[in-house]
Structure 1
């Protein structure tokens, strides 16, 4: 159920309209079959590869379509129990997004540590990977449910946090284990955090 919602919300990041002609598709577990779409004047063509890892399971998704230039970023968000890495390539000529974006990010520890929440405690230590050089503490509200999470993120995620949507608040810091603060009660909403990530960087 959570994955279906994730796909719907990610598709919402790719808008249609007029002007630039781009390929458009969404595919799980490999390349997707593309059709053509017409984009708004403010959009570019985009190709994105998203890799979500939860436990020992990994899901890869390819997406193509129209995207505003400001949201053409590559980033990693790691909440310990789940990690989502997105690579986005944008271009500004007709049908230039034919190729899949290459995988982004590294799985190698970079020496930085941040706290993360596992449903019982928010003081678990997490080894950050790749370019996850910031710690994040964030809270999102969906209806009556509110969830606070902590983890390692790329700088581009922190830049997007300052422009977050209503219902989302977050703060970044650079020191090791700097996202301590008070522990919170967890609930099953943590399963939806990949959705908030993509809403955040839109």
Structure 2
């Protein structure tokens, strides 16, 4: 009797933990796709991710994707470079097809009192007021036109480690985050955010 119960449990238990989520992986920067159903494996969750890119107040890109997410990929955060910002917002849930809606757009992000060095659009070092949950100063390098160029700004801690940092791999390298005000010291050569926007979004959607 116990053997029969063990066999039935081993057969039925995986089915009981199967989670079904919507999957929508847009190609390029169109931001649109037709959702389809996807079967996840435990301990995955249903997730919706939204990447929004701004130059000043102008919205450059707004792309959403849906898929099975591991809990560590349910990230919220932003990276700011003074005249531009990339915001990642996500929602996760654990019931069948619960990721029907897109993750919401970020609201207005208020200054949080933290200060970091940044390069302005003339590549001159300036001081940036961080917003939202940007609790770190960041220094990194980007490869553009065969050259490694320094960038600086504010970043959420989730963008400095874990899956948030992984989403930046291939775009930003040598990411260094610190928590004290103005700890990302002032030297180096800057780069326009516009050089980062397209590759960053494309890579994030494919990761």
TM-score with structure 2 setting the length = 0.70
Distance 2:30 2:201 in 1: 18
Distance 2:118 2:199 in 1: 13
Greater displacement, 129-138 / 110-119: 110-119
Instruction: Note the C-alpha offset of 1:93.
Output: 2.8
Pick aligned residue for 1:108 from 110, 116, 124: 110
Structure 2 unaligned residues grouped into runs of 5+: 1-17
Residue 169 of structure 1: SS of its match in structure 2? strand
Instruction: Note the C-alpha offset of 1:43.
Output: 3.5
1:53 corresponds in structure 2 to 54
**Radius of gyration: which is bigger?**
2
Instruction: Note the C-alpha offset of 1:105.
Output: 5.5
Specify whether residues 105 and 81 from structure 1 end up closer, same or farther in structure 2 by C-alpha distance, changes over 3 A only.
same
1:189 corresponds in structure 2 to 195
The answer to whether the 8 A contact 2:138-2:177 is kept is: yes
2:6 corresponds in structure 1 to none
Kindly report which structure 2 residues correspond to 1:25-64, keeping only aligned pairs within 5 A, or say none: 25-26=24-25, 33-41=34-42, 43-58=44-59, 59-64=61-66
Residue 160 of structure 2: SS of its match in structure 1? helix
Kindly report which structure 2 residues correspond to 1:3-152, keeping only aligned pairs within 5 A, or say none: 20-26=19-25, 33-41=34-42, 43-58=44-59, 59-104=61-106, 106-118=108-120, 120-141=122-143, 144-152=146-154
Q: CA RMSD in A?
A: 3.4
2:162 corresponds in structure 1 to 160
Distance 2:161 2:124 in 1: 23
Distance 1:61 1:122 in 2: 31
Instruction: Note the C-alpha offset of 1:57.
Output: 1.4
Structure 1 unaligned residues grouped into runs of 5+: 1-18
TM-score with structure 1 setting the length = 0.72
Specify whether residues 156 and 99 from structure 1 end up closer, same or farther in structure 2 by C-alpha distance, changes over 3 A only.
same
Distance 1:65 1:147 in 2: 34
Residue 98 of structure 1: SS of its match in structure 2? coil
Q: Which runs of 4+ in 1 moved over 4 A?
A: 26-33, 161-167
Specify whether residues 195 and 51 from structure 1 end up closer, same or farther in structure 2 by C-alpha distance, changes over 3 A only.
closer
